[in-house]
Chains A and B, each alone.
Chain A
Amino acid sequence: MRAVSLIAANFLREHRWPVLILFAWIFLTALAAGGFGRDRVVPDDVVFYVQQQAVYICVFSAFLAADAIHNERKSRRILLVLSKAISRGQYLLAIILGTSAMAVAYALVFGLCGVWLTARAALPSGQLWSVVLLVMAGSVIAATVAMFFSTFLNPYIATALTLLLFCAPGVVHAQRHAWSLWLPGLPILVDVMHFNFRSDWAMNWYAAVLAILEAAIVWMMAAAVFNRRDIAIPVE
């Protein structure tokens, strides 16, 4: 497990600049939504900010995870790492951990900005942390699915497929098929999209737990596929 956490930490370190830029982006959008110069913020703007950032964090996680293997193969740095006593499954787990750690940090910054906004809009902030938790779980499943696709596809196609997988079920769900709630990430997406700061909204714990369980299954599938891949062949 130590090796996994080391690779994850190294992954975080390698991506520190994009993450810092994204943190700045959260602040800037919060400032924009907080309406600098205005006395009070409109609640609808805060809801929009929360839903928009929640989706961005999941998309960002998918982008980051989809690119990870490709970048490491392209730079050939993966060779020295996988020449050590690391299995392919552990390596993928490290990438998921690294991406998730980044998403957690991103979600926490988003939560803090959200608290500031809710204070300005005179809204209760308690529910916001439930959204943050949902976003963390959503990021984990988004990253894992993107990484699974990237084990056998180009990262751009992997990201596109991931986003398609997360959006298309929305259409299915709109048709009210009960089984659609088993699709990865969909219950989280539905829950976040219904978030409104009102007392009738409650966090869907089932969605968060299901996302983590699905992520574990997808990780095992990714490891099985990645085990059969030739990683030394140069990628374009």
Chain B
Amino acid sequence: MPGILDYDNVTKDYGSAWSKRRVRALNGFTLSLERGEIFGFLGPNGAGKTTAIHLALGFMRPSSGSGSLLGEAFGHAASRARVGFLAENVALYHRPANKLLRFYGALNGMRPERLKLRGREVLRQVELATEADRNVAKFSRGMQQRVGLAQALINDPELLILDEPTSALDPLARVAMRELLLEANRAGKTIFLSSHLLSEMEMICHRVAILDKGRLVKLGKTDELLVSHDRFEVIARGVPGGSFEHSQTREGHVEFVVPAVSQRDALERVWALGGEVLSVNPMRRTLEQVFVELTNKGDNT
């Protein structure tokens, strides 16, 4: 059964067929989104994230491979009526916010009566209800980004595809955006989110994919990715503070990190010193650490 968004061995090359300067933006990319999840799509600039999103929406065609959006092949117009999309550096027509939302909603076949209600609702959600009659040309970048999100939500989509949605937002607006996405997800929407803000992704994404130079280098549940099974954090008591390298003493407990291979030796040493082991846990990293580790590895190879 096809997922909500599937890529099957998709490759995308830029440049004409006879051009010598061809750039491979995506290379054998395979991914399947599960219904109801918030999926984070990470990668350095030029990794191929936006290309993957544009392929899904039918803005371009894969050089090879295939994919489906809501069960239909990429590029199928009718299936996009159930999708909400926010582009990176959103570009809007210069019209009042409420009229603009009605325009975009009507393109998805929404009826005028429903559009009127829904328009008010989404403007309230993005905290622009009081600005509904103002022309978006007079809005700040952050406000325009919120109108962009509102147009993505207008059709009450099953799948939200957001390309760098928080790039132009201030910290408070980012928090509001995060809450909004979580709320949308609780309402049953699947969210495909591309962003550079790793801390945001770490907070809200159920699964994460890391893309580098067009290749998928890591895919997994966020919690599992952040846990390192190479290093363990040990908390002990009853041992002298300086007994272990780089140990820290807090409230009478000694905390230190040991590689997985020497974990047993470290524990035996605690006991030999007459101490007691309180906990041994896999070391938890930040998404930023995982990201840097994976993308730097790519550079070295």
Contacts and interface: CB of A to CB of B under 8 A. Distances in A.
Interface in A1-37: 2-3, 6-7, 10, 13-14
A80 B92 contact: yes
B163 to A, nearest CB: 9
Interface string A117-152: 000000000000000000000000000000000000
Interface in A57-91: 75-77, 79-87, 90
Given A84-B81, A85-B77, A85-B80, A2 B106 contact: yes
B57 A230 contact: no
A6 B60 contact: no
Contact of A86 (B60, B79, B107, B148): B107
B271 interface: no
Interface string A75-113: 111011111111100100000000000000000000000
A171 interface: no
A232 interface: yes
Q: How large is the interface on B (under 10, 10 to 19, 20 to 34, 35 or more residues)?
A: 20 to 34
Interface in B138-155: 148, 151
B91 interface: yes
Given A82-B59, A84-B81, A232-B59, A76 B107 contact: no
Given A6-B103, A83-B85, A77 B91 contact: yes
A80 B59 contact: no
B256 interface: no
Q: How large is the interface on A (under 10, 10 to 19, 20 to 34, 35 or more residues)?
A: 20 to 34
Given A81-B107, A84-B108, A76 B91 contact: yes
A233 interface: yes
Contacts, number: 74
A88 to B, nearest CB: 8
A171 B77 CA distance: 43
A225 interface: no
A231 interface: yes
B106 A3 contact: yes
Contacts of B151: 80
A3 B57 CA distance: 18
B243 interface: no
Interface of A: 2-3, 6-7, 10, 13-14, 75-77, 79-87, 90, 227-228, 230-233
14 contacts: A2-B109, A10-B93, A77-B91, A77-B93, A80-B92, A80-B151, A81-B107, A85-B79, A85-B108, A228-B61, A231-B59, A232-B50, A233-B14, A233-B60
